[in-house]
């Protein structure tokens, strides 16, 4: 797949930003955010022969200067101190750390800065034409705010990366977030910026964290009209999810004309996910990257960076979903129905639940939803409201 | 909460002698709908709303511009002796006044002078703040028996989990009047442990709850 990109550098098709150091972002053994997902996914891809050593590049650690692009100095300072056990919880709680969601752990500054660095590594590969696409599954920490942690996220890799792209490469960025939770941190970072477009499709805030992401959140000042939100109802299934995603993503690309697409690929909209109430199946995780890939080629000469995100059924959902993402990025067609036997055998022993042996979910995964037609209708209304401003009337 | 904590102190006003045209310009410029009218001494003598103006002016579908109408002093169309409030009034009282009197603004007067204004929009925003939905959090609804001490039993779970509660609302249970529904907004992305413990205490957690659905 490689082609010459000048000098003696061979341009790669896609890079997989990963090292075992990324597993250091670990709150506790019982915390739902569990980076073992990365080990499981990487192993699945290797056993599929879909990932070789040549594809893998290690993440760098983001410098303080880079973190400052999207975070306050005082906050970084507190994270560093907490990282070394130099502060107590009463001093850190107002910064969102030392809480049940985002507890303090040893070396949390380095671990968090490494996840940001991974996304910056992905940016450099793509923006310097060393690779067409790049994937950092360790990234996607979309709840991180400028001055505080929130929802399992310390630093916000996407916010830092987008600022970095603006400063270093002066490109227009479209950020699309399919995590089941609203991508609030990234949205607020660029709420008044007309050169960054943020799009988030998520379960409504009626029950689910963080509660924001209403369709009326469209940006402010110069940035009015460049934030898009598609809050979908609890119990939303594949077809309705995909109807909104595909329609909105394409129309927003046509409107915004990005230079690069960054997709956040949280895998928590699945029926199995313990934290959310959406009823997606593996079908959405096959379709989501397919369209991102296609639109990146149509609008951005292929420039596409994908990051991870949420995903709390780390055994049955995340490894399959994220493997499909990497395979789509590399045009690897899925020919077999079953997961590799060696992968199943290796991990079934550790898994507290029976693994799903097939790439797609079995039929009749859940009982039919009684109010499906109304939920679909309501979601469609959300789509129309969200796109109202960019459609001609 | 009392009104002086939430009222808008930068009030746009006109004199009774100002014209309808001037009132239209001011409402448009400031994107507002209510104007207290004060005399030279700063006493409130009336209120003009966008509706008073619509009633007084010809339809914009008509071609003829009747300039006399636009030059009319607003004294002639304002509501005289409007309902007023005091900085120490409670926000709940204002909500009741708006609902019962069917009005949309309350000029706030102290020492005989206009010191602020509260509108329906301000009240609505307070309501949004009260629900806690402006801060990142998860919503948990609990059906509990309607008896004293129940809030303590439930909130003990939040204490044990060291969870920061952003708001608590109490609703009547429309299906069973022996129950009520407590709605908590909690600053956490992972409410599973809390929900499990509230259930262990014997309460019914509606998460999520949609009429016609059982999960």
Alpha carbon distances (Å) from A276 to A131, A141, B52, B190: 35, 17, 49, 10
Q: What is the CATH number of the domain that holds A173?
A: 3.40.800.20
Q: What is the DSSP string of B61-110?
A: T-S---HHHHTSBGGGTSEES---B-TTSBHHHHHHHHHHHT-SEEEEEE
Q: Determine the distance in angstroms separating the CA of A102 from the nearest CA of chain B, rounded to an integer.
A: 9
Report the pLDDT value the prediction gives residue A12, as an integer from 0 to 100.
87
- Backbone dihedral region for residue A241 (phi beyond 0: left; psi -120 to 50: alpha; all else: beta): alpha
| Per-residue confidence (pLDDT) for residue B65, from 0 to 100 | 65
For the purposes of burial, counting CB atoms within 10 Å of the CB of A54, is it exposed (0-12), middle (13-18) or buried (19 or more)? exposed
Q: What is the pTM of this model?
A: 0.87
**What percent of chain B clears pLDDT 90, i.e. is strictly above it?**
74
Of the candidates A100, A211, A275, the beta carbon closest to that of B137 is on A211
Considering only alpha carbons, which residue of chain B is nearest residue A150? B136
pLDDT beyond 90 at B28: yes
For residues A347 and A355, the answer to whether their CB atoms sit within 8 Å is: yes
Q: Do B213 and A371 touch (CB under 8 A)?
A: yes
pLDDT, residue B200, reads 94
DSSP 3-state of A287: helix
Nearest CA in chain A to B158: A100
Interface test with A, best of B139, B186, B189 (most A CBs within 10 A): B189
From A124, A141, A163, select the one nearest A25 (Cα to Cα): A141
Q: Which of B133, B136, B185 sits opposite A150 (nearest CB)?
A: B136
CA distance to partner chain B, nearest, from residue A184 (Å): 9
Chain A residues whose C-beta sits inside 8 Å of any chain B C-beta: 32, 99-101, 143, 150-152, 181, 184, 205-212, 234-235, 274-275, 277, 369-371
Among A136, A160, A188, smallest CA distance to A65 is for A160
**Chain B residues near residue A212 by CB distance under 8 angstroms:** 133-134, 136
**Beta-ladder partners of A175:** A198, A262
* Structural domains for chain B: 3-127 (3.10.580.10), 132-205 (3.30.70.260)
Closest chain A residue to B185, measured at CA:
A207
Beta strand segments in chain B, E: 34-38, 44-49, 79-80, 105-110, 113-119, 138-145, 165-172, 179-186, 204-206
Q: Kindly report, residue by residue over A115-149, the tens digit of the pLDDT.
A: 999 999 999 999 999 999 999 999 999 999 999 99
CA atoms within 13 A on the CB side of A113: 21
ipTM: 0.75
Peptide bond into A313 cis (omega under 30): no
| Region A191-212 average pLDDT | 96
d(CA B10, CA B5): 13
Whether A34 has a pLDDT exceeding 50, the answer reads yes
Numbers of helices and strands, H then E, in chain A: 12, 9
Residues A84-96 as b/e (b if ≥16 CB within 10 A, e otherwise) read eeebeeeebeebb
A100: nearest CB among B137, B162, B185: B162
Number of domains in chain A: 1
Q: Which of B132, B136, B191 sits opposite A143 (nearest CB)?
A: B136
Residues of B in contact with A211 (CB under 8 A): 132-133, 135-139, 185
Task: Give burial (CB, 10 Å; 0-12/13-18/19+) of A44.
Answer: buried
Evaluate whether A125 touches A5 at the Cβ level (below 8 Å). no
Whether B192 and A274 lie within 8 Å, measured CB to CB: yes
Range of the domain at A234: 3-390
The pLDDT, as a whole number, for residue B187 is 92
């Amino acid at each position: 797949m490689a082609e010459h990109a000048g000098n003696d550098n061979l341009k790669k098709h896609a890079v997989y930003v990963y090292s075992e150091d990324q597993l250091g972002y670990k709150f506790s053994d019982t915390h739902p955010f569990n980076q073992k997902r990365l080990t499981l996914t990487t192993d699945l891809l290797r056993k599929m022969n879909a990932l070789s050593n040549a594809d893998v590049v290690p993440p760098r650690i983001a410098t303080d200067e880079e973190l400052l692009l999207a975070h306050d100095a005082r906050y970084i300072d507190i994270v560093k101190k907490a990282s070394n056990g130099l502060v107590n919880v009463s001093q850190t709680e107002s910064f969102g750390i030392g809480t049940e969601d985002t507890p303090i752990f040893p070396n949390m500054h380095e671990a968090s800065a490494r996840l940001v660095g991974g996304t910056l590594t992905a940016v450099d590969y793509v923006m310097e034409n060393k690779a067409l696409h790049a994937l950092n599954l360790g990234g996607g920490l979309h709840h991180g705010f400028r001055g505080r942690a929130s929802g399992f996220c310390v630093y916000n890799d996407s916010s830092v990366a987008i600022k970095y792209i603006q400063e270093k490469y002066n490109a227009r960025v479209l950020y699309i977030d399919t995590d089941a939770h609203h991508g609030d941190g990234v949205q607020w970072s660029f709420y008044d910026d007309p050169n960054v477009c943020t799009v988030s499709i998520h379960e409504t805030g009626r029950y689910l964290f963080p509660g924001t992401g209403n369709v009326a959140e469209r940006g402010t000042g110069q940035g009015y009209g460049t934030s898009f939100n598609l809050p979908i109802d609890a119990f939303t299934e594949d077809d309705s999810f995909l109807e909104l995603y595909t329609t909105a993503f394409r129309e927003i690309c046509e409107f915004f004309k990005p230079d690069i697409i960054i997709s956040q690929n949280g895998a928590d909209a699945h029926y199995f996910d313990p934290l959310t109430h959406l009823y997606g199946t593996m079908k959405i995780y096959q379709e989501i990257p397919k369209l991102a890939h296609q639109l990146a080629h149509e609008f951005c000469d292929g420039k596409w960076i994908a990051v991870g995100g949420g995903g709390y059924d780390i055994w049955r959902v995340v490894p399959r979903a994220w493997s499909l993402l990497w395979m789509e990025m590399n045009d690897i067609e899925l020919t077999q129905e079953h997961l590799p036997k060696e992968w199943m055998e290796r991990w079934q022993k550790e898994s507290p639940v029976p693994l799903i042996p097939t790439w797609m979910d079995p039929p009749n995964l859940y009982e039919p939803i009684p109010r499906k037609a109304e939920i679909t209708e309501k979601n469609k209304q959300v789509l129309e409201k969200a796109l109202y401003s960019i459609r001609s009337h | 909460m009392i009104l002086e904590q939430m009222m808008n102190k930068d009030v746009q006003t006109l004199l009774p002698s100002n014209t309808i045209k001037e009132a239209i310009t001011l409402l448009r410029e400031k994107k507002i709908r209510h104007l207290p009218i004060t005399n030279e001494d700063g006493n409130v003598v009336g209120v003009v709303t966008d509706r008073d103006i619509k009633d007084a002016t010809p339809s914009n579908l008509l071609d003829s511009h009747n300039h006399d109408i636009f030059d009319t002093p607003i004294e002639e169309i304002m509501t005289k002796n409007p309902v007023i409030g005091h900085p120490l009034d409670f926000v709940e009282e204002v909500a009741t006044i708006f609902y019962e009197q069917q009005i949309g603004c309350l000029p706030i007067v102290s020492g005989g002078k206009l010191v602020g204004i509260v509108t329906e929009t301000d009240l609505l925003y307070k309501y949004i703040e009260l629900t806690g939905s402006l801060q990142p959090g998860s919503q948990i609804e609990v059906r509990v028996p309607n008896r004293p001490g129940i809030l303590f039993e439930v909130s003990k779970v939040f204490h044990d989990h060291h969870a920061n509660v952003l708001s608590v609302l109490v609703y009547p249970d429309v299906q069973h009047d022996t129950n009520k529904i407590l709605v908590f907004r909690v600053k956490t992305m992972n409410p599973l442990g809390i929900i499990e413990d509230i259930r262990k205490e014997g309460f019914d957690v509606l998460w999520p709850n949609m009429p016609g659905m059982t999960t």
